[in-house]
Structure 1
Amino acid sequence: MCSAGAASTNTVNGRNKENKAMGFLLVFFPEAIHNKIIGNSINNTTTNNKTSSSRFIKRTNPNLLFTKARFTISMCALLVSLTLLFFTLSTLEPSSSSIWGFKPLHVLKKKPNVVSSSSSFALHGMGTLYRRGTTAMDQLIICHVVEDIAEDELKLFLRVLHRSGITSRADIVFLFGSSLLSSRFSFLIHEENESFSKLVRYYNELNTTSSRDSAFRFNSTQFWKSGKKDMGEPIWGKKGRGNYSSSNEDESESIRLIYGSVVGFDVNELDPENSLGGFLDYIPLSLRRWACYPMLLGKLRRNFNYVMLLDVKSLLLLSDPLGRVRSRSSESIYLFSSCSNNSKSNSEKTQSHCRVNSAILMGGVRGTRRLANAMLTQVVRATIRQHKNKNSVSESGIFSQLVGNGYIMKNVELTTLTESFQEAGSLSGLSSDSVEGYSIIQRGNVNRDISSMITNLICLCEADSSVYRDC
């Protein structure tokens, strides 16, 4: 009896274990257990009905339908997720998508020797790199672009600037009043950079320098220099990026193409706290730019020796005026002033009233930075006096007062040149003789269309007319 009871108990325990195992398998392998049960049913049915022909009716299991439905939904969700992932990666910028090991199609189609991505930062995660130069430069031109400048005015400034030859010795920085203004002129800056590259290549293939029948002639020889002296890599953009000079197959070992970088910043990047925001309701770029220079020049003080501050709307550069300051100290600054003579009578001494031109100054980086700091302080004082006396704030007036204050400017070597810039509209026919000897000309306030006149003169040369689209 004990044996029978033990056997019965073992049988029950074995069945419980078998049921538990079947339950475990049913959870993780429902399809396999289902197939096993169906197979056993078929075998039992076949054994019991060997003597008669019977039909097997297969019933649909609800668990099987639920498993198949869950599998189908999972596959659909996976396909939707993959589709969204690839769509997201395809819309990323080149700098972001490169971390996944591939680049969008529009990036692969670009030439490797042209840096034209507006998404490339210029310096320390700020600014925009429009063109990376071939080598490091020791001269810098900071051009501020006022809010009311027209597209034709900026295009003319860029075109004359590239043709002046100064970009073979200096980097160009554009200072915009807002990021919107920077984005608006981004395509125009890239277009003029491309036109310059085409022009240099065209003259190099023709083995000629320039045409002498145009006042704004292009001399390509000043961009080809000896490559024995390595000035180092440009500070702008990412290190180790290719450029036009290194990829030019026709370039010899001793002569290489040299040109500077072209970058841009907006005032919110260089003056994020808006230093003058608590003093004025509306701050024009002519005033706020003085809060941007100290930060920018502070970052670049070890990279550049000489700097020029220039107003894009007022002036045009025909050559390189920075040659005057290359032999001077880092604290020296050259200013320009226009004087008007007033004489009441022949017996009285002629009096002259001079006003310093704030649209341009050039000198050493250290002296320029000191002047910018002093000018920012004077602007703040002038705005405070404005609230008390209800007087208007004039940038040129504040600048003239600052320059005349010897105590504030005692740490800066100021040299004021009494020169009046020739106005472009007053040039006699804009011939070669009329602009000979002028490195800077002023746009002026005349009603003549200076942009069209200069563009027509540039297009007189067959080589130049084949490069510019508006010729």
Structure 2
Amino acid sequence: MAKANANATTTSSCSSSNQSNMGLLLVFFPQDNKFHSTNSKSPTLKPTFSNNNNNNLILPKAQFTLSICALLFFITLLLFTLSTFEPSISNITPHPITKSKTRILLSPYPNTPLATHHALQRMGTLYRRGTRPMHDLTICHVEDEINEHDFRLFVRLIHRSGLTAKSDVVFLFSSRSISDSFARVIRQENNVFSSLVSFHEEFVKSESNFNLSLFYSNKKFEMAETVWGKRIRRNFSEVPGIEGGGGLLLSVGSVLSFDATELDPENSLGGFLERVPMSLRRWACYPMLLGRVRRNFKHVMLVDVKNMLILKDPFGSVRNRSPESVFLFTNKNSGKTRSKTQKRVNSGVVIGGARGVRRLCNAVVVEIVRAAMQCSKEKNSVSDSVILSELAGNEFMRKGSNNVNIIGSTESIPEASFLVGRNSGTATSLLHHSIIERGDDNNEISYVIKKQICSSIDSSVYRDC
């Protein structure tokens, strides 16, 4: 009797379970309703139906779970795509700021610390996009040993010299960590330059050697885009004064940087030298960079940030020369007798036509490898100054595919110690030179230049004055 009651209880429980599950089956699988109604009359089929019912429940649950997972996956993928998508900037109309009779064309890329702005083909960092394409390119290689103070002085003088009015400026670092450490200085000096321009727009500039008129252009801006950064379609027709030629526009070049690991990822000279300093590795980076922009620039200057300072635009001497012409400078210290060593080429500055500089860089790389194979790896006695001196007197450079017109400049690069301090007492003689060499006593020239800037009306712009 107990057993019969137990069976009845079990049957009742199964029937109750089946009836509760029939609702779900009617919603998701109405075609199974007939099958269930027919077979529910046979008590011998009830256990089999219970197993099938459980299997039918697992299937829609699995399908529902997979659908939810797929939906979450696509939503995540969509959000990731939108977050990493860098929209192209199109149809931007530059808004000029009118002050007196001057119109300043603002840059589409503000001086904000955004490292996502690549300079060229997903490489480099663009700190400031120029207002128009430039014909001149200045590449400044930065040694690892330079400190922040000396680097800041170089960048500040670059802006004050008027060089960026007609030239784009590229800083070449040895690694990503070095470029990141100096990126803040570049952005700060870019912002200081913008403040300096605004300041000179509002006040009389009688006590400053900063010449804002160098950055003015009354010519039509070129419709072509700069080579750096994302392509931007500007609507120049809506800018007042451009079509009629009225008004003045601010002409400012781009400021950007590259790492040697981007332009020379394999460290091409590493297999020939035990240690490759930046003074040598830069020659392996130049062909890669200049080859990518070979149709965008007419003149190129290579300059050493650690040992050189630019006070004025030095491109004036090469703009009327052939594209194959290259100027090389020598060191001649006054007060000393000339010797063979003193006639050595100063590798801190190389300037000339883009074609000639590019071919010279290719030749220097080959000569560095040849000299490294002849010398012992432990000595590392390869010098780019010696190599440039040998190439300057090599007739092969003027023949064949090289065809570089190397011109020994009659002007030597003076050392700062002979222009300031105990010899002259003031810094007035600095204004007569485009480029000077820092020399051994770098603190003296830094002090004199800073004093000269801070004693002028520009002192209110610089925080360190």
TM above 0.5, yes or no, is yes
Distance 2:238 2:453 in 1: 29
Please name the residue that 1:148 is paired with: 145
Q: Quick check: 1:228–1:254 contact (8 Å CA) kept in 2?
A: no
What letter matches 2:110 in structure 1? V
Alpha-carbon shift at residue 21 of structure 1 (Å): 9.2
- Counterparts of residues 35-54 of structure 1 (less than 5 Å): none
Find the partner of 2:269 among 276, 281, 284. Answer: 276
SS in 2 for 1:276: helix
Q: Quick check: 1:339–1:352 contact (8 Å CA) kept in 2?
A: no
Note if 1:188 corresponds to 2:199: no
What letter matches 1:382 in structure 2? A
Q: Taking structure 2 as the reference length, what is the TM-score of the superposition?
A: 0.73
SS in 1 for 2:139: strand
Deviations 1:378-418 (A, max 9, x none): 00011111138966222222222222222234311111024
Deviations 1:203-229 (A, max 9, x none): 1122x3x344x6xx2111111211425
Q: Quick check: 1:309–1:359 contact (8 Å CA) kept in 2?
A: yes
Aligned pair in 2 of structure 1 residues 352, 279: CA closer, same or farther (>3 Å)? closer
Distance 1:226 1:343 in 2: 48
Structure 2: give runs of 5+ residues left out of the alignment: 1-16, 29-53, 55-60, 88-106
Please name the residue that 2:416 is paired with: 424
Alpha-carbon shift at residue 119 of structure 1 (Å): 1.6
Deviations 1:174-214 (A, max 9, x none): 110111111111111000000001110111122x3x344x6
Q: Quick check: 2:171–2:256 contact (8 Å CA) kept in 1?
A: yes
Aligned pair in 2 of structure 1 residues 399, 237: CA closer, same or farther (>3 Å)? same
CA RMSD, Structure 1 to Structure 2 (Å): 4.0
Find the partner of 1:139 among 136, 140, 159. Answer: 136
Aligned pair in 2 of structure 1 residues 417, 28: CA closer, same or farther (>3 Å)? farther
Distance 1:146 1:135 in 2: 30
Please name the residue that 2:260 is paired with: 267
Find the partner of 1:226 among 210, 218, 227. Answer: 218
Aligned pair in 2 of structure 1 residues 174, 250: CA closer, same or farther (>3 Å)? same
Deviations 1:74-96 (A, max 9, x none): 9xx99xx89x979x97xx9x972
Please name the residue that 2:24 is paired with: 26
Q: Quick check: 2:329–2:413 contact (8 Å CA) kept in 1?
A: no
Please name the residue that 2:84 is paired with: 96
Identity %: 46
Aligned pair in 2 of structure 1 residues 415, 122: CA closer, same or farther (>3 Å)? same
Distance 1:447 1:235 in 2: 36
Distance 1:389 1:125 in 2: 37
Please name the residue that 2:11 is paired with: none
Q: Quick check: 1:177–1:285 contact (8 Å CA) kept in 2?
A: yes
Deviations 1:227-252 (A, max 9, x none): 42526321111121789x99999999
Structure 1: give runs of 5+ residues left out of the alignment: 1-18, 31-62, 64-69, 100-110, 345-349
Note if 1:456 corresponds to 2:440: no
Find the partner of 1:408 among 394, 397, 412. Answer: 397
What letter matches 1:371 in structure 2? L
Distance 1:417 1:366 in 2: 18
Alpha-carbon shift at residue 169 of structure 1 (Å): 0.5
May I ask how many residue pairs the two structures share in their alignment? 389
Please name the residue that 2:98 is paired with: none
Distance 1:218 1:341 in 2: 29
Deviations 1:245-291 (A, max 9, x none): 99999999521111000010011111122211211221111111111
Please name the residue that 1:297 is paired with: 290
Please name the residue that 2:34 is paired with: none
- Counterparts of residues 60-75 of structure 1 (less than 5 Å): none
Distance 2:453 2:463 in 1: 12
Q: Quick check: 2:274–2:377 contact (8 Å CA) kept in 1?
A: no
Q: Quick check: 1:333–1:362 contact (8 Å CA) kept in 2?
A: yes
Aligned pair in 2 of structure 1 residues 447, 319: CA closer, same or farther (>3 Å)? closer
Aligned pair in 2 of structure 1 residues 318, 341: CA closer, same or farther (>3 Å)? closer
Please name the residue that 2:48 is paired with: none
What letter matches 2:381 in structure 1? S
Distance 1:399 1:265 in 2: 24
Distance 2:20 2:336 in 1: 117
Aligned pair in 2 of structure 1 residues 368, 341: CA closer, same or farther (>3 Å)? same
- Counterparts of residues 217-256 of structure 1 (less than 5 Å): 217-230=209-222, 232-240=224-232, 253-256=246-249
SS in 2 for 1:422: coil
What letter matches 1:316 in structure 2? L
Alpha-carbon shift at residue 112 of structure 1 (Å): 6.7
Please name the residue that 1:257 is paired with: 250
SS in 1 for 2:463: coil
Find the partner of 1:381 among 353, 370, 387. Answer: 370
Please name the residue that 1:59 is paired with: none
Please name the residue that 2:31 is paired with: none
Please name the residue that 2:316 is paired with: 323
Alpha-carbon shift at residue 436 of structure 1 (Å): 3.2
Deviations 1:308-366 (A, max 9, x none): 0000011111111111111111000011012479999xxxxx97551111110110111
- Counterparts of residues 182-221 of structure 1 (less than 5 Å): 182-206=179-203, 208=204, 210-212=205-207, 217-221=209-213
SS in 2 for 1:143: strand
